[in-house]
Amino acid sequence: MTAMTDEQLLRYSRHILLGEIGIEGQQRLLDAHTLVIGAGGLGSPAAMYLAASGVGRITLVDDDDVDLTNLQRQVMHTTGRVGQPKVESGREALAQINPDVAVTALRERVAGARLVQLVASASVVLDCSDNFATRHAVNRACVAAQVPLVSGAAIRFDGQISVFDARDAFSPCYACLFPEEAGFEDAACASMGVFAPLVGVIGAMQAAEALKLLIGITPSLAGRLLLLDGRAMEWTSIGVARNAACPVCAHPG
């Protein structure tokens, strides 16, 4: 841990003024490592707010390239970077926001031991992916490593967000809420569409929950699922309990 410079004290002064954060909380952010799975609609605002807030290390993981159709909602990317890997475009965008943040760009679809290794090195994981297979793999890795997970999703005009904190024996995991055997179908933006600002709302909230977890601000969204109806602009909060028979997080005894 290195003491903040005068420039950092000025850059993060609006955080430091908050009693819930202060210098100690901002230092926790500077010392933290966040893993962002997905550099698209959700990952864009999430990563940008993490960088702006001073999270010291951000690892971006995505195996896709920037496409013209992404630009309607994936605000981390630009017209001039169409065709570039999303993680490289993202690293450039985050460096422009905050050059002090160390950004690792991984152009790959992580799974297995590689995913477990990346999750174990992180302070918190943000799942900004767009498919259930990845979400379940990330959840299993977070449970195994006891690393908190901030999960978001958005399609059409509907969004959702929750926190799954494996450090708490009473907190449910993603599989408690969406069991793998339930056979939920993936809905792709390419076929279903998505309202552009919706991913901004959910992605920004993912960043907010991640920052709270890193600083130690309570309560988090653990044990609650927030659903957003983007047409009516109505939020619904649903309590989620841990499934004692969950094949992923159930504890013996």
Q: Taking the CA atoms of the chain, what radius of gyration do you get in angstroms?
A: 18
Mean pLDDT of the chain: 95
Look up 142 and say whether it is catalytic.
no
The owner of tokens 């809420």 is: 177
Spans of all domains in the chain: 16-239
pLDDT tens digits, 174-201: 999 999 887 666 666 667 899 999 999 9
Rounded-to-integer distance, Cα 80 and Cα 72, Å = 14
pLDDT category at 253 given cuts 50, 70, 90 is very low
Per-residue pLDDT tens over the stretch 106-159:
999 988 999 999 999 999 999 999 899 999 999 999 999 999 999 999 999 999
pTM: 0.95
Q: Under CATH, what is the fold of the domain 16-239?
A: Rossmann fold (3.40.50)
Question: For 231-246, what is the mean pLDDT?
Answer: 96
| Among 142, 173, 176, 189, the one annotated catalytic | 189
Q: State CA 212 to chain mean position distance.
A: 12
Mapping DSSP onto H, E and C, the string for the chain reads: CCCCCHHHHHHCHHHHCCCCCHHHHHHHHHCCEEEEECCCCCHHHHHHHHHHHCCCEEEEECCCECCHHHHHCCCCCCHHHCCCEHHHHHHHHHHHHCCCCEEEEECCCCCHHHHHHHHHCCCEEEECCCCHHHHHHHHHHHHHHCCCEEEEEEEECEEEEEEECCCCCCCCCHHHHCCHHHCCCCCCHHHHCECHHHHHHHHHHHHHHHHHHHHCCCCCCECEEEEEECCCCEEEEEECCCCCCCCCCCCCC
Quick one: pLDDT at residue 191? 72
Residue 252 — very low, low, confident or very high, per pLDDT cuts 50/70/90?
A: very low
pLDDT tens-place string over residues 33-67: 999 999 999 999 999 999 999 999 999 999 999 99
